[in-house]
Structure 1
């Protein structure tokens, strides 16, 4: 597949709107997002789609302001760490090819969170003029790149190259890092017994890291030199996408009782960035009937360390 940058004259971008009632984690993408060409036809490349479907197109609106000159469409600044890395940065491959044209963004939240600004800075976009699409905007010339990452479907080599942002040194012998979920807020999926398992990991020389307590740069520094990076499947593992030349091994412990297998994104990232990856399964039991944040428990927490060290 060849990625393109398409140019539209007299385009109109309308603000993002939330689709009320869309089930969290369901098939529906809970946004209406995108823009229109001069004939009021929806520009598909300004939309958001995944392997299971596409976000609904917005309704056309008369521009409240007009932007002269050339602007580039950056995408949607999502509020989820993993989706931000994969989808909000999906057009990074092209932004560097569009000169100094200001970047137009759809915002999910009215203001950027600190970690979002930090990631955009790591991506070199801190000096690029950013324009929020907070009202219908007419654009004299709108450059619209194809997304280089599509959830569950595509990780283009050009996007993988663009995300080579932080060099990873050669792995340090014996450095093993566990990305913990044990301190996440209650609305996130946590695994009961993980803290017990972490004590066994520490006793064996593993470093236990709580990513949400670190800056993004500190998260990357914690894993960049690791021989092994491991954790329950979750968005913290997606930060590997920002590393260049990571030569360690990733070990993902599946959360099988969520009702789904390992998401294809993990394979897309490992192949696109060229690192080794293993998927492990550990006995878990469900503590409730699931939902968007199911409660899970390790059957035998002490065995997780054995599994990760290849002794189980």
Structure 2
């Protein structure tokens, strides 16, 4: 690798906010998988791997050099912009698949479109199509599933992602602030609780999460389930809210994309602090203000995918106390530990 791209992408700049242009490049889609590792990459006309085209997750590369096929299976004429790996999970898509699209501002009128590779189906899912429309407008997107030679390729640095780069480079943040969902008007309640209670428990949730929904509703918040609404409606709600409370999760990454410093946000951790570090970095950098972080997990209650946990793993009294102290709910709101009736509801759910 070149000296410019041997280190993880940095929000301070360097290769993460630079651009390289290549005449003739060969894109090799994933040849094999090894957990989260993909053997995929881009080669120049001399057969050298392009390090800036690799994808990083925190401090590790997650795209490894594939073997270079002797011949291409397809051709793309004109100039294209490298998008990287297209992920089909909303959270991974948002944190990793859009990381290079900040360069669209400069190259919009020069390129034929964006080129991605993917580990799964070569079609954009509806959420990804909607998200990209809000971010890059009508710029065409091509998902490459065969070894492809491209006449000219623009390779921007990875300006966003998981790890320290979750803060985003300055040029990435500026692009998002100027372009993302700019025509979506704010509409919705002042106080919003983003709920995960409709998510499967085996995806890191809690049995009895609806009890937290009920507490927040009694405190004056509108309970909002993102999966029941389209992307633009979610964004409209996030733009309108003055106070936002949520368990940590993908919805807060979307909120961060449109958040403002005058908004107040509180994150109730459902995982240990390290797991949510990228989310909190993302929120702080894009909002311009740190969210309130509430770690009310009892010892031994850390998330294990596929394992059911009850909402009683959270210290409800602590949650209420901190929300009151920091101005998220009124001090007069009745909010103590879980009641016997609430605990009975949890027990009934565990035995169901």
Structure with a larger share of its residues in strand: 1
Conservation of the 8 A alpha-carbon contact between 2:259 and 2:286: no
Q: 1:92-126, CA deviations, whole angstroms, 9 ceiling, x for partnerless residues?
A: 2102211241211113332211111110111133x
Whole-angstrom CA distance in 2 between matches of 1:118 and 1:261: 28
Conservation of the 8 A alpha-carbon contact between 2:87 and 2:97: yes
SS of 2:136's equivalent? coil
* Post-superposition offset of 1:182: 0.8
Residue of 103, 126, 142 corresponding to 1:114: 126
Whole-angstrom CA distance in 1 between matches of 2:91 and 2:194: 14
Residue of 165, 184, 200 corresponding to 1:185: 200
Residue of 26, 34, 47 corresponding to 1:40: 47
Question: After the TM superposition, which residues 70-81 of structure 1 pair with which residues of structure 2 at under 5 Å, given as runs?
Answer: 70-81=79-90
Q: 1:297 to 1:109 in 2, by over 3 A?
A: same
**Which runs of 5 or more structure 1 residues have no equivalent in the other structure?**
23-28
* 2:302 matches 1:295: no
* Post-superposition offset of 1:309: 3.3
Question: After the TM superposition, which residues 9-158 of structure 1 pair with which residues of structure 2 at under 5 Å, given as runs?
Answer: 9-20=23-34, 22=35, 29-55=36-62, 56-61=64-69, 62-98=71-107, 99-101=109-111, 102-110=113-121, 111-125=123-137, 127-154=138-165, 155-158=168-171
**Which runs of 5 or more structure 2 residues have no equivalent in the other structure?**
1-12, 326-330, 337-352
Q: Which structure has the bigger radius of gyration?
A: 2
Q: 1:193-223, CA deviations, whole angstroms, 9 ceiling, x for partnerless residues?
A: 3211211211121111111111111111122
Whole-angstrom CA distance in 2 between matches of 1:216 and 1:232: 19
* Post-superposition offset of 1:285: 6.3
Between 134-143 and 298-307, report the one with greater CA deviation. 298-307
Q: TM-score, normalised by structure 1?
A: 0.86
- 2:7 alignment partner in structure 1: none
* Post-superposition offset of 1:305: 4.3
Q: 1:251 to 1:93 in 2, by over 3 A?
A: same
Q: 1:307 to 1:18 in 2, by over 3 A?
A: farther
Whole-angstrom CA distance in 2 between matches of 1:283 and 1:4: 41
- 1:279 alignment partner in structure 2: 293
Q: 1:112-146, CA deviations, whole angstroms, 9 ceiling, x for partnerless residues?
A: 11111110111133x21222211001112111000
Q: 1:10 to 1:265 in 2, by over 3 A?
A: same
Q: 1:236-258, CA deviations, whole angstroms, 9 ceiling, x for partnerless residues?
A: 100023316463111111124x5
Runs of 4+ with >6 A deviation: 168-172
Q: How many residues align?
A: 301
- 1:243 alignment partner in structure 2: 258
SS of 2:267's equivalent? strand
SS of 1:96's equivalent? helix
Conservation of the 8 A alpha-carbon contact between 1:10 and 1:139: yes
* Post-superposition offset of 1:308: 2.8
Conservation of the 8 A alpha-carbon contact between 1:286 and 1:297: no
Q: TM-score, normalised by structure 2?
A: 0.77
Conservation of the 8 A alpha-carbon contact between 2:270 and 2:303: no
